[in-house]
Each structure stands twice: as C-alpha cells, then as structure tokens.
Chain A
Amino acid sequence: MELKEIADRISEKFSTAGHQIDRAKLEEKINRFVEEFSVPPAEAERSITADYARQFGMELSSSAPSRQDADTVTRISDIQAEQWVTVEGQIVTLFPSRSPSVAQSGVISDSGGTMRFTVWAKANAPVMEQGKWYRLESAVADEYNGQVSLKVHSGTVITELSPESVPKTEITSISDIIPKRWISVEGEVTTLFTPRSPSIAQTGILADSSGTVRFTVWASAEAPLLEQGHWYHLEPVETDEFNGQISIKIHGGTKIEPISKDEIPPIELVSIGQLKPGVATLEGKVVSVEKQYSEQIIQRGVLADDSGAVRFIIRNTPGAEPLVENHWYSITGAVVDRFRGALSVQVNSGSARILEVDKSIRPNIIPITQAGPGIVCLRVKMVQEYDNTSDRLFQAGLLGDESGTIRFVTWKDENAPRLDPDNVYSIYYASVDEFNSRLSLTLNGATCIREENVTIQVRTSNEEVSGALVHLSPGSGLIKRCPVEGCGRVLSRQNYCQVHEIQPNYIYDLRVKGWLDTGVKTYDTIISREGVEELTGLNLISAQELAENDPLGLDTVFYHISEQILGRYLVCRGRSIDNRFFAYNCEFKKFEPGLHAELINRVEGSSHE
C-alpha cells in the first residue's frame, strides 16, 4: 500500500542518518495528511520529511551538477547553476577589476537574457571589448548568494564572433520590454524628472507608439543630456523592474543617437477610443474648451471622434497656439499620459493641423456602470439633489440610469448648467474623476440637453451578492452612534460626533464593513445589524456583554466576528447605493451538489468538441 511505502522511505532516510522515528506516529501523521486533509501522497511525504529534517537539524541534499556538450550553444536565460555551457553573447558592460586574480568581469547578453561573468587572471584569456560579440566555449556557471554567473577559466575557449554571425540589432517596442535584458529602443523623451540622487544624471519617461517606460541615465555614463520632446535611438540599454514597474538604464556603454524629425518612426493614426499612454497620432474635433487658463497652460479642452473623447492640454511653449472650438484637427506625435486613471493628450506646438472637414460625431453614450475616469457621454435621470456644502459649488447630486447611479458636481462658473430632479438629460463630454476610490461626474464644460418624453427606470432594486468576505475593515463590530435625531453618525473612540461633538449617551449598533468579493467584482459592503445577527448569532446585548467582560473591550467583538465570517462565502441581499452595497439579510453559502454536477458536465462536455 502506498502509505506504507511512504512511511518506509521516510524512516529509512532518517535511520541511515542515525535518527529513529516512531513508526506508529509516522503512519498516523501520513494518514492524517492524506486521508483527512486530502493532501496528495507525494506532497505529504515532502512536508513530513521536511518537518523531521528540521527537528533533527538535517540539511536535505539537492541534485548534482551536470555537464553539457561543448558544441551546443545554451541560451543565457536557460543557464542553471553547476553547468558547463557554451554561450554566444555581447559584452554589454565591463566592471573595473577589484582583484588581481580577476582579469575581467562584466555582463554578457544574448537576445533572451543576461548574466554576469568573470574571467580569471589564470585563464590567460584574450581581452574582450565592450559592445562586441563573443563565443565562450566551456565556461562554468556557478552560483553565489543565489545569483548564477559565468566563470571563464583556462579551459574556456573565447572567440570573437564574425560580423555576419552577430544577430542584427532589433528595436524593441516599449510595451514589449521584459526586465533583466539588454535591448535597443527608440522613443521620445516626454517627461524629465529631477533626479533624486547624485548617481543619476537624468531620469524621465521615454515613449513610443506602443507605450511608455521610465528611464534613468547614470551619472557614471557621462552621456550627453537628453532633451524633452526629442527622439533618441538607445543601444543597448539595461531593462529592470522594481515593484512591477519596468524601467530602462542608460550606462556608459550605451550609444545615444538623436533621431531627426524626418527619421522618426511613422506613428499610426489611432481612434480616440483606442488611445493608450505613449506617443500617438490622432484626429478629432474640439468639442469643448475650458475658459480658465494659466501662465503655463494655453488651453485645455476635449477632443472627440466617434469612438470616444479625451482631454487635451496645450502648454505654453514657443509657437504653441490654441485650437478652435468645433473644428477638426490632425495631431501628430501627441504625448498621451494617464493621470488618476484618466487619459490626457498633450498637443505639442506645431503638431496640430486643421482639417477642412465637418463630420458630425455621433457621441458614444454608455451606461453609468461602464463610466471610468476620463470623458464620457451619458443619458441619465437626475435622481436627487444634495445639500450645497461649499461656496464654490453650484450644484451636487445623484444621477442614475438602468445600470446604476453616479454622483455629480457642478462648480460655479458663468455657463454652469442646473439640472432639475426627475428630469432626463443627455450629457455630452462630461469628465469623470476618481476621488477616494469613488467616481464623480463634473458637468462644467459638458453639454446637458433635457430630453422630453423620455423615462428612465433607475436601478436601485434589491440585489443579491454571493461572494467571499475577503476583508473586514476597522469600524466593524460593536459601534457607537450619535443619539441626536436624524444624525446617527458613528462616534470616534472619544464618543465624538463630527457634527454634534461629545455625545456620552451614545447608542450601540452592530455592523460589518468589508469587501465582499465575487471573483469578478469587489463590493464595498456594509452589513447591517440584522445581517450580523444572522451570521454570528450575536445580538446587541450579547455583544455588549462580550465587550464589557473582556479587557480588549470593543475589539473583542471585532475579533469574534472576524473569526466567524472572514474568508467565508456569504450570500447577502441588499441594495447598492453610490458604489456601496448595503446588506441587511445574510447567510453562509452552502456547498451546492447541483452546481458540482453541472460543472463536471461543463468541463467534460465541451472538451470533446
């Protein structure tokens, strides 16, 4: 039987090392893993072996080195430690030698990867030059501190590759850059940042039509200064990644060649709906311009075509001129940026050409739930007007359509449109902003047209959400509310209400704030007292008792609830208001044998098609 064999193998392994294991205990352990917790036998064996090894302080051996045929060229990315390999690559960097026993050290790169190398002085190898390609036959890959590197010793044969066998330089599109490579790129310096360290000469953003990437020029590179708005050919640059952000590094060995205006790679025309960060050529109609400008900015506004709309900005640079409203323009080499989720197009001076057309645009009206940061067109009903809370505010409220609702604001300006509750409006080219992870629509600059004889059924009906509670936020559990009538705000620890100050006669309440996650969407959820009671069996009185009889006080209720519902599947009923789901009826989801059978059919069914 398999479990017996596992037990045999484990006890043999340790008895040869002089450790005796209690056989009965071992078998029970294996049984527990495999039978009770359905762990695959191999994994159980691995876990239990590792566990005993730790107990006895033993190191488990790893596999032995392998030797490779000298004729096969190994791709650098495939090299593993403890291997003899033959590689062909370009010397992209040389480091100054720190020890007399090292003749040369640096980085070698092929099309798929890079690796550090060291040439021992004893190897008597020919001197390699930066930028040239070489074949290293029978070098040794070894590992130090988790890094694999190549060692060139006296048995290694070094030959320079003939020009025809050197792979041609390929320009990598910025969106295709992969970290830890040496590549060639071409792009426009669209932004320069102030370097934060004296070891950095310049840092900024390089863009091509496929995307953008952060670049750094090391001070040690002693490179000519790059200029904003100019295109460059950079060869080779090192690619890197930090926190998931890709960047490129320009070293001493990097060739920097400016690209003249005529040589800039052609940038294909894209529709506004398809824009992404990078450098783009587009055609659009100026559908609105803002009234307020500053010294740095000549104009802001909105450009649109049939596919969508986008904000544009023209900075005050020599030769820059504003665009004329309601005219079509062709804009070449515009820099597309994303800020707080919304795209914006920077129109460079001299890049906009007026088009002698007057195509009308059919604005692309979308449901509210599809709206995201940027410029949108909606058809909505004014659901509710909010109290005005600021001198600068003209109107605020809630708009809705069949898909959902969104807040809106209109700031005071001479053309600010006022919306009347219960009327339906078509809103063209309003901007959506994200604030505190909530969307808000700003109507300034937008065109709002009242639609007669149109009704919209705004979606506010009951919803059922079935998902996992993946996060429980502070402010869950037993809370205190302000007793002032019509207030009910949650009090801080010092019983302080934001509006009514200290309130010693607070009212207790139970609730859960958290994220209910379906795997497709995350609901910012508040479960009311009724829902909490259904899930946890606690009620206001038992929760208060719990808090009063525990040194942790209110926190104990939080932990108590967390233990019961965090990570569990819940079915909650309630309603969505303003991106938040209020649930008042909740239960734990049960295993559904019917769904199980259905999924088995689904997985079998279509695999034979």
Chain B
Amino acid sequence: MSDNSVYRKYEREPAKRVFAAELREAFHHFREGTDEKSPTFLLLPTGERCNRVFIAGTLTEKKKSEGEAVFYQVRVVDPTGTFFVSAGSYQPEALHQISTIESPAFVVIVGKPGVFQSPDGRNLVSVRAEAITAVDKSVVDCWILDTARLTLDRIEKETDDPDHQKAAEIYQRQPDFWRSKIRDALSSIQL
C-alpha cells in the first residue's frame, strides 16, 4: 500500500499544465500495464507523467491538409516556445472549433501529447486537440500563472517518486534551466 503510484493512476488523469519549452523536450513515452486499453503517458522533463495536457497561447498558423481526410495542423506560441497542435476526423469537436478560428488568436487547448520522429530523426511532440477554444488574453495570462505555479511545484517537489528519478536520468536538465523559462513566461505578462 506504500506504492502510491499504483493508486494514483486509477483516477482520471488530470490535464497537466506545461510550457512549450518543456513539452518540446519530452520524448520518453510509455504504457502502464500490458493490456491494450492501458493509458499511454509522456514523461515530462520536470518529472511527472501526462496523458493529457492543457495549454494556451497565440495561434499563429493554421494549415489544412490537402488530402481527402480533413486534418488541421496549427502552431500555438506561448512565451517560452511553440506547441504543435493537430486535429483530425477522430476529434470532430476540435476539428469544428479549429475551422472557425483565424490566426492570430488567443486559444486554449486540451489534448493528448504524442511523440513523433521527424525525418531527420529528431523527436517532435505534437498535441492532438480534443478541444480548442478562442479566448481573451486574460485567460492565457491565468494559464501562464497556473502553469508557472504547477511547473515550480514539479521542480521543487522533494520526492523519491520513480517518475521523478526516471526524468532526472533521461532528461538531465537542471531545475535552474526550467526556472529561467518560468521567469520568461512570468515576465511576458504586462500589468
């Protein structure tokens, strides 16, 4: 019963708040358990797993696929970098919502992160949107605060949690690196 990670996984996974600078560096993904319906997780460099993220920023570019199936790819920038977001026919709601948003616009997105290999072998993290909404700047600012707070919580957490240890092993980034990103994000808010 001391193995809390087993129990934590039971609850519906929260949508983790993560800045673009951190999400783009994530590449380790894994599945808990061996049965086909077990959720897949992406390990964030600051040491927490996620299978859903809540992100926000400015939609700067929207591309519709030319092929038969409708498919959108959008770029969303936050103060620390760029998110790559997509929606296809399996996300009818998000597809509909994206079609009505024109760049540039402030947006928030709920979606599932995935890691893809670019042709040159680099890892690309892309978020498959479940929902995307055009919002006011104030919502993005609230998100920046929320994400700054939760990212700080992650790096300041003192724990022997296996996810934390694994992330430290795999990503080898010092907490100060993330602090500087959080600082960038916070200072982008003009009062």
Contacts and interface: CB of A to CB of B under 8 A. Distances in A.
B160 interface: no
A372 interface: yes
A515 interface: yes
Interface string B1-45: 111101111111111110000000000011101111010110000
A550 interface: no
A307 B2 contact: yes
B191 A607 contact: no
Interface stretch (A36-44, A125-133, A380-388): A36-44
B104 A36 contact: yes
A269 to B, nearest CB: 16
Contacts of B67: none
Contact of A40 (B77, B141, B179, B183): B77
A532 interface: no
A82 to B, nearest CB: 9
Contact of B17 (A376, A437, A519, A589): A519
Interface string A48-76: 00110010000000000000000000000
Given A33-B104, A374-B6, A592-B145, A567 B110 contact: yes
A468 B11 contact: no
Contacts of A524: 12
Nearest to A178: B28
A338 B33 contact: yes
A309 interface: yes
Interface residues of B, number: 73
A603 B15 contact: no
Contacts of B149: 595, 599
Given A146-B119, A205-B34, A273-B3, A32 B104 contact: yes
B189 interface: yes
Contacts of A518: 14
B141 A364 contact: no
Contact of B60 (A47, A243, A520, A568): A47
Contacts of A373: 7, 10
Contacts of A33: 58, 60, 104
A37 B190 CA distance: 12
Interface in A191-224: 205, 212-214
Interface string B99-125: 000011110111000000001110000
A17 to B, nearest CB: 20
A79 B121 CA distance: 8
Contacts of A43: 60, 75, 77, 82
B14 A81 contact: no
B119 A569 contact: no
Contact of A521 (B6, B11, B146): B11
11 contacts: A47-B60, A47-B75, A50-B61, A146-B119, A245-B36, A343-B6, A471-B110, A471-B130, A520-B150, A595-B149, A600-B186
Given A307-B1, A374-B6, A567-B132, 5 more contacts: A147-B119, A309-B1, A471-B110, A520-B150, A603-B186
Interface of A: 32-33, 36-40, 43-44, 47, 50-51, 54, 77-81, 143, 146-148, 205, 212-214, 243-246, 273-277, 307-309, 338-339, 341, 343, 364, 366, 370-374, 376-377, 434, 437, 439, 468, 470-471, 515, 517-522, 524, 563, 566-569, 589-593, 595-596, 599-600, 602-604, 606-607
Nearest 4 pairs of A and B residues by beta carbon = A244-B40, A372-B7, A567-B133, A567-B108
